[in-house]
Amino acid sequence: MSATELHEAIAHKKARREKYAQWEFLRLTDKFHGAARGSVCIEDKVLYGYPSIGRILRVETGLQHQFRAPFWVEEKVDGYNVRMARVGDDVLAFSRGGFICPFTTDRATDLADLRILDEHPDLVLCAEVAGPDQPYISGHPPYIQEDVQLFVFDIMRVGEPRYLPQREKHELLKRYGLPAVQHYGRFNTNQVSEMRALLMRLTEEGREGVVMKEDSPRDHRAKIVTSYSCVDDIRGTVDHLRDLPAEYFTGRVLRLALFLDEQGEQRGDELRQQLGSAFLDGLFHAIDQSKQERRVYRTHRCRFRDPENARRLLKHMKRADGHLHVTERGLEKAGDYYVLEFDKLHAGMSGLLGHVLGGGLVFD
Amino acid sequence: MSATELHEAIAHKKARREKYAQWEFLRLTDKFHGAARGSVCIEDKVLYGYPSIGRILRVETGLQHQFRAPFWVEEKVDGYNVRMARVGDDVLAFSRGGFICPFTTDRATDLADLRILDEHPDLVLCAEVAGPDQPYISGHPPYIQEDVQLFVFDIMRVGEPRYLPQREKHELLKRYGLPAVQHYGRFNTNQVSEMRALLMRLTEEGREGVVMKEDSPRDHRAKIVTSYSCVDDIRGTVDHLRDLPAEYFTGRVLRLALFLDEQGEQRGDELRQQLGSAFLDGLFHAIDQSKQERRVYRTHRCRFRDPENARRLLKHMKRADGHLHVTERGLEKAGDYYVLEFDKLHAGMSGLLGHVLGGGLVFD
């Protein structure tokens, strides 16, 4: 993407100028000329966005229909997506949407030894950040008990929209000792029973699913999630059901049914119980919270090196989602870190529950 | 509503001219000047629409907040709403939206002895039609095993938007032996435990809920449904989840949680199991149907006196919902009736399941 194209994107309202600390940059708010939403241009470097990967809901036909060659299988980690790159003297972490993430940028040096970006300033690390102590999402893998961890899953070059080939990526990950997503090997499209067995194991381990990457020049990709993930997503978000698109929930129920049907688990009563509980227990929690505190919210907690970045995070969150009401609870020094606590108010759910618990009418 | 106002409604695109058999009439497609959507003007008679009744999701606060005087409690029957009136020599049945319903009109004389409309041609019967053999909805009360039944719940006068007072209605229902919704008596706002006990009993009986009507000149109304109804609605429609707004499902889950919480049933595992089953079993059915027949559909069956009305019904259904694909299976004489069978194709669900069962990608 050239500077001319970026200015054209601005003219078409597909890009915006952003400021963050001393940095000024451009961010694609929509896909444009083949570049994904979230592509950025900073200090004359173009960092392409990480496009969303299509999902298959059936293993057997999905593998056969999607792949023309063997494919690599990697864990899909339940976290948020970042791209990390060297810009001037700093390493910056960009969110999916192309914002500089104050939290991930602050903690970049904790998350990995980033010598790779000193020695190869033209590389971009594409990674998932996951764990209980982060500002964005509610779920996290059960094997991360505190704070956050980084899991690199792709490496790109500045100015290029493609990923490094799998073998080159592995070589770099190994040489620089970078934390990476789990690799489950190279499968072919006939290995349906192996893939089903893997997904059953991942469900038992509480993992989200896998991303499959074709070992061919076209590097075609697809993802599939476990039944654990479908139920866990519902359990983790139903307390603010009215603040999410209703399709978030129906889509997960549908995925679950298709997954169970293929696994031959139509008759299992345990999942029925788990699905019903996922919906009801989270709602009971929200109802209790509304009764006791007259609002539905969730408290987030995250550690920073620099308290200024904590302030930037709050500012960023207030801006990024107009519906989200963010209230600081405190910012306190604890050891080497500053611990920020803040509440995210779920305005839609707070309003609805307040209204109906008070005896109000609804029309539908 | 005067003729002038109706012409104004047409000018504002809030009303349409309709034809049905020999009849020409006007139908409000939206509310207008205080008249509900579905109000009609036929042969200079105005039949006001039946406006939707607001729902409370909590008994205790709902009763206190909604009612200023004692209120009548009647069963809310799981069927479809009609208004029946004498027009010329005929009795016509109008749907909620103000269409003439070919099925209900055809069967009007089977559903009730309608002498009341001969002796009082200025009256309009507002009723629910419920049962397994009808063209519109999937659910029906468990106490109706075949065909359909009529349950009158209000009586209006032609040209007046209000309902007859409860005592006058009861007197007419009794005098003409009209089938009516079950009456549970007159409650006051302090009878919270009695109302909760009634709703528990209705859940056990598989009934949908109650409508409450204030015994006062303002005739304020509210409805509340049972936990049975929330789960049954999901079970009955999840096979075409993609052809309904996703809020249909999330709204019912939320109602269920609020109902159970108030009834002190947060800990009951049975409902969790039932909720999970309601979602999954219907989806497994749709998946099986898609695998075997490459489409998701439901077969409806209903009896007519006049086969011409069966043809009118199919025409009406094709017109009323652009998304609905209706295919006739057969129309055969059986005893005194013509039995129409037709399939409703669920196009959204058929398309999605065909795509994903074949291994296609989805982006969300």
* Share of residues in chain B with pLDDT > 70 (%): 98
In this predicted structure, the answer to whether residue B324 has a pLDDT above a threshold of 80 is no
B234 at interface of A, judged by CB pairs closer than 8 A:
no
pLDDT digits (tens, 9 = 90+) for A245-275: 999 999 999 999 999 999 988 777 889 999 9
Q: Is B249 helix (H, G, I), strand (E, B) or coil?
A: helix
Instruction: Give the residue among A318, A210, A196 at the shortest CA–CA distance from A263.
Output: A196
Element (H, E) at B251: helix B247-262
Q: Which residues of B touch A280 (CB under 8 A)?
A: 253, 256-257, 260, 266, 271-272, 275
Residue B222 is nearest to which of A52, A287, A361, comparing CB atoms?
A: A361
A-B CB pairs within 8 A amount to 163
Q: What is the mean pLDDT of residues A137-143?
A: 92
Rounded mean pLDDT of A164-188? Answer: 97
Kindly state the percentage of chain B with pLDDT values over 90.
90
- Identify the CA nearest to B227 among candidates A285, A276, A361: A276
∠ CA B201-B205-B206 to the nearest 5 degrees?
115
Beta strands per DSSP E along B253-335: 297-304, 325-334
Mean local confidence (pLDDT), A35-63: 96
Of B62, B257, B362, the CB nearest to A284: B257
Edge-first strand listing for the sheet containing A209-214: A183-187, A71-76, A209-214, A221-225
Q: What is the average per-residue pLDDT within B175-198? A: 97
Most B CBs within 10 A among A352, A357, A363, hence the mutation to make, goes to A357
In the numeric block, which tokens belong to residue A138? 């509610």
Taking only the tens place, the pLDDT of each residue in B347-360 is 999 999 999 999 99
Does the structure show a pLDDT above 90 at A138? no
* 3 state SS for B126-188: EEEEECCCCCCCCCCCCCCCCCCEEEEEEEEECCCCCECCHHHHHHHHHHCCCCECCEEEEEC
The percentage of residues in chain A with a pLDDT greater than 90, rounded to a whole number, is 90
Specify the pLDDT at position A320: 64
Check: CB of residue A328 under 8 Å from CB of residue A340: yes
For residue B174, pLDDT over 80 is answered with: yes
Question: B56 near B224, Cβ under 8 Å?
Answer: yes
Say yes or no for a CB contact (<8 Å) between A279 and B283: no
pLDDT digits (tens, 9 = 90+) for A229-244: 999 999 999 999 999 9
- Give the pLDDT band of residue B226 (cuts 50, 70, 90): very high
High-pLDDT (> 70) share of chain A, %: 98
Check whether B119 has a pLDDT greater than 80.
yes
All residues of chain B having their beta carbon less than 8 Å from the beta carbon of residue A60 are 359
Q: Is B81 on the interface with A (CB under 8 A)?
A: no
A253 neighbourhood in chain B, CB within 8 Å: 238, 241, 249, 279-280, 283
The model's pLDDT over A104-131, given as tens digits with 9 standing for 90+, comes to: 999 999 999 999 999 999 999 999 999 9
Residue B30 pLDDT more than 90? yes
Q: How confident is the model at residue A3 (pLDDT cuts 50, 70, 90)?
A: low
The contacts found for B49-53 with CB under 8 angstroms, 24 or more apart, are B49/B96, B49/B98, B50/B81, B50/B83, B50/B96, B50/B126, B50/B154, B52/A363, B53/B211, B53/B221, B53/B222, B53/B223
The lowest-confidence range among A306-310, B31-35, B93-97, B123-127 is: B31-35
Tens digit of each residue's pLDDT (9 = 90 or more) over A289-328: 999 999 999 999 999 999 999 999 999 888 766 556 899 9
Residue B181 has pLDDT above 90, yes or no: yes
A285 touching B (Cβ < 8 Å): no
Question: What is the number of other CB atoms lying within 10 angstroms of the CB of residue A206?
Answer: 15
Name residues 170-229 of chain B within 8 A of A (Cβ): 222
**Which of these ranges, A34-48, B41-55, B264-278, has the smallest mean pLDDT?**
B264-278
Global pTM reads 0.95
**Which whole number is the average pLDDT over B145-171?**
97
CB-based contact A248:A239 (threshold 8 Å): no
By CA distance, what is B277's nearest residue in A?
Answer: A272
Establish if B249 touches chain A: CB-CB under 8 angstroms.
Answer: yes
Give the ipTM: 0.94
| Sheet strand arrangement including B90-95 | B90-95, B80-87, B123-130, B149-157
Cross-chain CB nearest to A58 (options B56, B62, B357): B357
